[in-house]
Amino acid sequence: MTTSFDKNLNENVERFSLGVLDLVPRLNGADAEHALRQAVLLAQQAEAWGYTRYWTSEHHDMADLASAAPEVLLAHIGAKTDTIRLGSGAILLPHYSPLKVAESFRLLASLYPGRMELGLGRAPGGGPHATMALSGNYLQHVSNLPAKLTALTELLEDRYVYEDVPVTARPIPEIPLSLWMLGTNIKSAAYAAQFGMGYVFGQFMSHSDGVEAVNRYREAFVPSVHMKQPQVMVAVSAMCAASESDALSWSREKVSEPELNPAEDHKVMRHVAGTSEQVWQYIRQLGQRLNTNQILVVTDGPDYERRLESYRLLVEDRGNGLTNFC
């Protein structure tokens, strides 16, 4: 099914909106304090360079990452930036009370009007022992996810009732936050469609090309208070350098030959490394394939300086005919 929205995307797919997805890595043995200072610097530089989003992830008991609570880090980064949109990639809802999540992100949306985006995920976010320590039986919690999504959306639409008594997630921001589901498969796409959320396909975590999941999301999308039309983002892993050889040597992710999924027509790359022109060629192809102009870029790099350099180089060519960057 092709909608007028999809046609408009096809016409404007060259007008990309780039965002940062920051896992807050502890590069080269850096302590957590240094990693978090670098997260702030990345958000500030991304804002200055014209990136539209800064999203950060949730991981538990992972020694090389320093972000277990996106809502805390986003509160701090919001105070250190002015305009860039701030989002979670993702809050792992199976672990948490929908009321607590709604209250936390409504508070953020009240602190930073018009800037907050709540991205949700289904993954455990850590190893089995950390997962059990966090919330107990994770498989049981995942089976309850539809009920939690229902409660969360009702809370964010001010229509939630508990034992016949209305319960409101406060404070109520003047500008509502936007709601997204992150995933790599049809299941997450189905949830995003059912609850009228945006869908973020994690290409950097998937061996699928995403076409089936994204198409099913658009076909099944039910408009909601949060979103009237389907919106798709795609998260990619990329490393830019002045030369392809430098980009390959800077990459912490192994760059392998693209994999061909027999059920799909496209070869799938989980990580791309090269000059900015080479990376933009990949982004344009990805945007055309998934019919989206909204991209999240995750870049670890061998160190923080070259990570920043990669993000800078990616936008340096925006005036050279590669794209109309927005």
Residue 251 tokens, joined: 């990459």
The encoded tokens of residue 239 equal 């490393």
**Angstrom distance (rounded) from CA 284 to CA 74:** 29
Question: Which structural domain, as residue segments, surrounds residue 129?
Answer: 4-319
Instruction: Say if CB 28 and CB 303 are below 8 A apart.
Output: yes
Can you spell out the DSSP letters for 95-143? Answer: GS-HHHHHHHHHHHHHHSTTTEEEEEE-S--B-HHHHHHHHS-HHHHHH
Q: Report the domain count for the chain.
A: 1
Q: Does residue 325 lie in a domain region?
A: no
Note whether residue 324 is domain-resident.
Answer: no
Determine the Cα angle at 57 with ends 51 and 59, to 5°.
Answer: 160
Residue 283 covered by a domain: yes
Is 326 inside a domain boundary? no
Rounded CA-CA distance 86/89 in Å is 10
210 in any annotated domain:
yes
Question: Which domain CATH number covers 176?
Answer: 3.20.20.30
Residue 182 identity (one-letter amino acid):
L
pTM, full prediction: 0.91
pLDDT of residue 254: 61
190 assigned to some structural domain:
yes
DSSP assignment letter at 177: P
What pLDDT does 10 receive?
45
Q: Among candidates 5, 79, 1, 49, which has minimal Cα distance to 228?
A: 5
Length of the chain: 326
Query: Is 121 inside any structural domain?
Result: yes
pLDDT at 266: 56
Q: Is residue 272 in some structural domain?
A: yes
List per-residue pLDDT tens for the chain, 326 residues long. Answer: 333 334 444 444 458 999 999 999 999 999 999 999 999 999 999 999 999 999 999 999 999 999 999 999 999 999 999 999 999 999 999 999 999 999 999 999 999 999 999 999 999 999 999 999 999 999 999 999 999 999 999 999 999 999 999 999 999 999 999 999 999 999 999 999 999 999 999 999 999 999 999 999 999 999 999 899 999 999 999 999 999 999 999 998 766 555 545 445 556 889 999 999 999 999 999 999 999 999 999 998 899 999 999 999 999 865 443 333 33
